[in-house]
Amino acid sequence: MFFWFKKPKVILECFTTEELVYEHAKIDSAVKFFPDWWKKTKKIENNVYTIKNCSGILEFYKRGITMPLWAHLNIILNGDGTFEWKSSNHVMEFDFHDRLQFSRFSENVGYNIKIVTPWAFRTKNVKYFIMSNPIYNHRNLINYMTVMPGVLEFKYNLDMNVNFFLTESQKTQIEIDAFTPLFTLHPLFEEPVEIKNFLVSRKEMSKIYYPNYFIDFPNLQKKYASKKKIVDYVENKSKCPFGFK
């Protein structure tokens, strides 16, 4: 006799305090964000099989998770490592990493901007995801800015900031429409992922971010280790010594 057990789902909880972001720009499966040029492309054009037949791209979207941009955004690259920006709403915040932090990669023409998103992600256990550039949705950005890829987990690190690498030596204006995919996440594990979006109050969000209340480290490595230590301490403290919860 064989028993078939379904793989347990990994619940990806996504929290925001912004009502309109929650209503119109939820975190969702990337398969809902195929670009317009893809939709207009036929599988065969001029007797040639097109990119529409590429299983690699199809799987990229089928297995991906996307955060759509929650505003219309204009960015002006001044050509000297500085930038200006304007958005259609107030829910937009930028930061950056100094070029000195990655000078051997940036060389003399590259620099960084970071979009601070209105979302926090959380999973119950440590599960790794890879963040990458949704290049097929970013055709107009390819020559100027790209998502800096990395591997993330959301048990100890809930922040969803998106780092972009920029290369431009002349003044350039970039326009990004609302609901354009900002990045793509792919799980680095076999279990299926269920995305759950939540609208929470600022008070509730502060409770979700409770480790930040107890630490203040400018060093990123120490900050992550401190968050981990606090979360583990709180979880262990809440467990009964006799094994009951």
Mean pLDDT, residues 69-94: 90
pLDDT for res 110: 85
Mean pLDDT, residues 159-186: 91
pLDDT for res 2: 54
pLDDT for res 46: 95
What span, in angstroms and rounded, lies between the C-alpha atoms of 232 and 225?
11
What span, in angstroms and rounded, lies between the C-alpha atoms of 200 and 209?
12
Percent of the chain with pLDDT over 90: 63
Question: Is 2 part of a structural domain of the chain?
Answer: no
Amino acid at 193: V
The verdict on 86 and 192 lying in the same domain is yes
The verdict on 184 and 214 lying in the same domain is no
Residues 6+ apart with CB under 8 A from 97: 112, 114, 163
The verdict on 241 and 145 lying in the same domain is no
The verdict on 194 and 154 lying in the same domain is yes
Range of the domain at 188: 10-200
DSSP 205-238: HHHHTGGGGG---SSHHHHHHHHHHHHHHHHHHT
The verdict on 213 and 240 lying in the same domain is yes
The verdict on 120 and 226 lying in the same domain is no
Beta bridge partners of 116: 93, 161
Domain count, the chain: 2
pLDDT beyond 70 at 74: yes
Task: Please write the tens of the pLDDT for every residue from 137-156.
Answer: 999 998 888 999 999 999 99
Does residue 230 or residue 13 have the better pLDDT? 13
The verdict on 156 and 177 lying in the same domain is yes
The verdict on 101 and 155 lying in the same domain is yes
What does the mean pLDDT of the chain come to? 90
